């Protein structure tokens, strides 16, 4: 991908495209804001390993934004919980470290919208999704491949299946790495024997006796993990259903039936919400939305997502994406706070438009 155009006709086109998109969002009721480029580094990890690895830490407790979600959230949080259900739009550069062999840009533009506080979550999901999609359409990109997922549905599947809390928490955390997740589901079905030389009983005492202990991770923690892996296993039936669930890749309207086929009516609450969202989609964007692709293991690698997620691509490049992140507030402050957002990458959009109508 090319860097940000900073002069000449490409720059003017980028500015015009950005202003057109932002203008459209403002007309649709989004308040335009300008989040700071630097934010508290303590919040960097919220996006998970992917964003953490990509974020420039400035060494003075500040981080250079690698994404707008957290800075927009922090700006919004200053207004407090009585702020109602505000919607914001924004545009600006984000910065991402690149490692060896990686020719992705270290600076690029994101332009997006966020919607806070609406308890009608499924309607809000669809509103953001529809606003992003129609912004792409209006800019001149009529047919853009879409992929959707639902992190909350995965959580509901985990909650419905018999397993220990330890395993459930571990599998939740692995959702962002589908390959690891599948490997661990398989691995956790069998107990892992204690290392040679260790016997059942007070494992921490054995560690203290046989090793020099140092560092912050205590023998008790080591013993806990050894014990858990030796005794706590994932029931085979749960594992089988989980793997089958993760393999679901179907038109979004077929998902409830596919999940019911695996779990019966154990997931009714989550599926009723899913079906509400399907109805909202049909109502707002038409019956053809039934065919939107859905993949059960799709979560966009940003760990703050915990609900509906979506991505629009052009020639395998992400041109727009977004998702729900109610629990971000929970991790920064006290309780969940309904939140969903989506963003467009104007530079990718511009090059896509050039390919569609040169």
Partner 1 sequence: MTALKLGLPSKGRLQQDAIDWFAKAGVTVARTGSDREYAGQVTGLDGMELVLLSASEIPRELAAGRIHLGVTGEDLIQEKLSDWAAITPTVANMGFGFADLIIAVPDSWADVTTLRDLDDAAAQFHATHGHRLRIATKYHNLVRGFLSTHGVADFEIVDSQGATEGTIKNQTAEAVADITSSGATLVANHLRILTDGEILKSQATLFAARNADWSDENRATYATLCQRLSIAPDLAL
Binding-residue total with partner 1 (CB under 8 A):
37
Minimum distance between the CB of residue 248 and partner 1, rounded to whole angstroms? 22
Of positions 12, 81, 217, 279, contacts partner 1 by CB under 8 A: 217
Q: Is 43 in the site for partner 1 (CB under 8 A)?
A: no
Q: Is 226 in the site for partner 1 (CB under 8 A)?
A: yes
Using DSSP, state whether 212 is helix, strand or coil. coil
Task: Specify the DSSP class assigned to residue 196.
Answer: T
Q: Is 170 in the site for partner 1 (CB under 8 A)?
A: yes
Question: Do residues 210 and 135 make contact, with C-beta atoms less than 8 angstroms apart?
Answer: no
Minimum distance between the CB of residue 297 and partner 1, rounded to whole angstroms? 15
Q: Is 89 in the site for partner 1 (CB under 8 A)?
A: no
Of positions 193, 225, 272, 356, contacts partner 1 by CB under 8 A: 225
Of positions 155, 177, 282, 284, contacts partner 1 by CB under 8 A: 177
In angstroms, the CA 75 to CA 64 distance is 15
Of positions 180, 231, 315, 317, contacts partner 1 by CB under 8 A: 180
Tell me, rounded to whole angstroms, the distance of Cα 292 from its chain centroid: 18
In whole angstroms, how large is the CA radius of gyration of the chain?
23
By CB under 8 A, the residues from 186 to 215 that bind partner 1 are: 187, 195, 198, 203, 207, 211-215
Using DSSP, state whether 227 is helix, strand or coil. helix
Of positions 101, 162, 201, 358, contacts partner 1 by CB under 8 A: 101
Minimum distance between the CB of residue 46 and partner 1, rounded to whole angstroms? 12
Tell me, letter by letter, the H, E, C secondary structure of 271-340.
Answer: HHHHHHHHHHHHHHHCHHHHHCEEECCCCCCCCCCCCEEEEEEECCEEEEEEEECCHHHHHHCCCCCCEE
Q: Which of 181, 180, 178 is nearest to 300 (CA)?
A: 178
Q: Is 219 in the site for partner 1 (CB under 8 A)?
A: yes
Minimum distance between the CB of residue 216 and partner 1, rounded to whole angstroms? 5
**Which CB, 77 or 207, lies closer to partner 1?**
207
Using DSSP, state whether 3 is helix, strand or coil. coil
**Which CB, 33 or 228, lies closer to partner 1?**
228
In angstroms, the CA 298 to CA 293 distance is 11
Q: Point out which span in 94-102, 125-133, 153-161, 235-243 binds partner 1 (CB under 8 A).
A: 94-102
Minimum distance between the CB of residue 306 and partner 1, rounded to whole angstroms? 17
Tell me, letter by letter, the H, E, C secondary structure of 304-316.
Answer: CCCCEEEEEEECC
**Which CB, 44 or 340, lies closer to partner 1?**
44
Q: Point out which span in 67-75, 126-134, 180-188, 292-300 binds partner 1 (CB under 8 A).
A: 180-188
Q: Point out which span in 175-183, 233-241, 264-272, 273-281 binds partner 1 (CB under 8 A).
A: 175-183
Residue 303: both structure tokens together: 């760990």
Minimum distance between the CB of residue 124 and partner 1, rounded to whole angstroms? 30
Minimum distance between the CB of residue 99 and partner 1, rounded to whole angstroms? 5
In angstroms, the CA 311 to CA 51 distance is 17
Q: Which of 92, 95, 83, 97 is nearest to 112 (CA)?
A: 92
Using DSSP, state whether 87 is helix, strand or coil. strand
Q: Where are the beta strands (DSSP E) in the chain?
A: 31-32, 38-40, 62-64, 87-95, 107-116, 146-150, 249-251, 293-295, 308-314, 317-324, 339-344
**Which CB, 8 or 101, lies closer to partner 1?**
101
In angstroms, the CA 14 to CA 21 distance is 11
By CB under 8 A, the residues from 49 to 88 that bind partner 1 are: 49, 52-53
Q: Point out which span in 45-53, 81-89, 283-291, 320-328 binds partner 1 (CB under 8 A).
A: 45-53
- Which residues contact partner 1 (rule: CB under 8 A)? 45, 48-49, 52-53, 98-102, 169-170, 173, 176-177, 179-180, 183, 187, 195, 198, 203, 207, 211-217, 219, 221-222, 224-226, 229
């Amino acid at each position: 991908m090319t860097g940000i155009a900073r002069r000449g006709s490409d720059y003017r086109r980028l500015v015009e495209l950005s202003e057109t998109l932002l203008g459209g969002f403002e007309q649709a009721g989004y308040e335009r804001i300008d989040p700071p480029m630097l934010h508290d580094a303590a919040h960097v990890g919220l996006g998970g390993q992917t964003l953490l690895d990509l974020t420039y830490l400035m060494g003075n407790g500040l981080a250079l934004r690698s994404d707008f979600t957290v800075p927009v959230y922090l700006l919004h949080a200053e207004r407090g919980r009585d702020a109602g259900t505000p919607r914001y739009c924004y545009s600006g550069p984000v910065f991402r470290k690149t490692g060896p062999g990686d020719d992705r840009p270290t600076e690029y533009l994101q332009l997006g919208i966020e919607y806070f506080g609406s308890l009608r979550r499924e309607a809000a999901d669809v509103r953001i999704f529809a606003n992003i999609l129609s912004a792409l359409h209006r800019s001149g990109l009529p047919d853009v491949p879409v992929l959707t997922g639902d992190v909350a549905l995965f959580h509901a599947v985990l909650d419905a299946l018999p397993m220990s809390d330890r395993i459930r928490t571990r599998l939740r955390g692995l959702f962002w790495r589908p390959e690891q997740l599948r490997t661990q589901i398989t691995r956790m079905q069998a107990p892992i024997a204690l290392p040679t030389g260790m016997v059942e009983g007070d494992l921490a005492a054995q560690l203290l006796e046989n090793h020099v202990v140092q560092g912050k991770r205590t023998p008790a923690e080591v013993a806990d993990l050894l014990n858990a892996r030796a005794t706590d296993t994932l029931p085979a039936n749960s594992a089988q259903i989980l793997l089958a669930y993760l393999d679901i890749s179907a038109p979004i309207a077929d998902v409830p039936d596919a999940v019911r086929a695996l779990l019966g009516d154990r997931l009714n609450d989550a599926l009723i919400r899913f079906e509400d969202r399907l109805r909202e989609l049909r109502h707002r964007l038409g019956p053809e939305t039934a065919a939107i692709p859905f993949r059960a293991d799709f979560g966009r690698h940003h760990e703050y997502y915990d609900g509906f997620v979506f991505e629009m691509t052009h020639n395998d490049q992400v041109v727009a994406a977004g998702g729900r992140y109610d629990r971000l507030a929970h991790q920064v402050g006290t309780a969940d706070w309904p939140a969903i957002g989506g963003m467009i990458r104007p530079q990718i959009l511009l090059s896509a438009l050039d390919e569609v109508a040169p």
